[in-house]
Amino acid sequence: MNTLPKSQQKRDALVKATIRLVNNNGFHATPMSKIAKMAEVSPGTIYLYFKNKQDLVNQVYIEVKAAFSEFAFRDYKEDLTVKEGFKNIWKNIAEFKLKEFEEAMFLSQCDNTPIIDEPSRQEGLKHLQPLLDLLERGQKEGIIKPVSPYMLYAFSIYPIAFFMNMQERAIFKLTRENIEEAYEMAWNSIKV
């Protein structure tokens, strides 16, 4: 047997329940009692792992964000070309947002509401750095447009979030083919 310690299992269950309930109801409309019930734990137990409700959502945010960038940069190597590196990262981000749907939707909600406090937000922003570095390298090599990295991000990576939102409402779904199409548009928008 190689299971996690019980306490870790409970914490994980609480994190998972928080993600799911916040996605469905919003943070302030999900009571601690419901989080506890979904995690099959007593309400009091939450306070063994988290200081309070705000601390709970902050911790979940930071952990999901870390999992996201772990996934995004999992196969990143310094010795890849800028083009290869960007393609890997872009595809990873797209895969995460479309497959790890609940986690991605949770991040999107946190990034667009005041439920996360500013320190945790800052913490989350750090994870973008490797991508910004790569883009900068591309600019030095004359491969990437010489504009603000935020501009590059907005036109190449940010659109993926739109697809995620559309997918939730079943309005538009990225298939294998138009993922390729989308990637080409992304690269196109930043390459010189």
Characterize 58-68 residue by residue with b for buried, 16 or more Cβ atoms within 10 angstroms of its Cβ, and e for exposed. bbbbbebbeeb
Torsion of CA 15, 17, 21, 23, to 10 degrees: 50
Residue 52 in the binding site for its own copies (CB under 8 A): no
Q: Which two tokens stand for residue 42?
A: 């007593």
> Looking at 1, 2, 3, 6, which residue binds DNA (CB under 7 A)?
6
- 15, 17, 18, 53: which one contacts DNA (CB under 7 A)? 53
Minimum CB separation of residue 147 from its own copies in Å reads 6
Q: Residue 44, interface with DNA (CB under 7 A)?
A: yes
Binding footprint of DNA, residue count (CB under 7 A): 20
Q: CA distances (Å), 172 to each of 70, 163, 165, in order?
A: 27, 7, 9
E strand or H helix that includes residue 26: none
- Tell me the sheet residues that pair with 144: 191
178 sits near DNA (criterion: CB under 7 A): no
Binding site partner of 26, from its own copies, DNA, none, Cβ cut-off 5-8 A by kind: its own copies
- 142 in contact with DNA (CB under 7 A): no
The reply to whether 31 sits near DNA by the rule CB under 7 A is yes
CA torsion through residues 85, 86, 87, 91, sign? positive
Positions in the binding site for its own copies (CB under 8 A) = 23-29, 108-109, 111-115, 121, 125, 145, 147-148, 150-151, 153-155, 158-163, 165-166, 169, 171-172, 178, 181-182, 185-186, 188-189
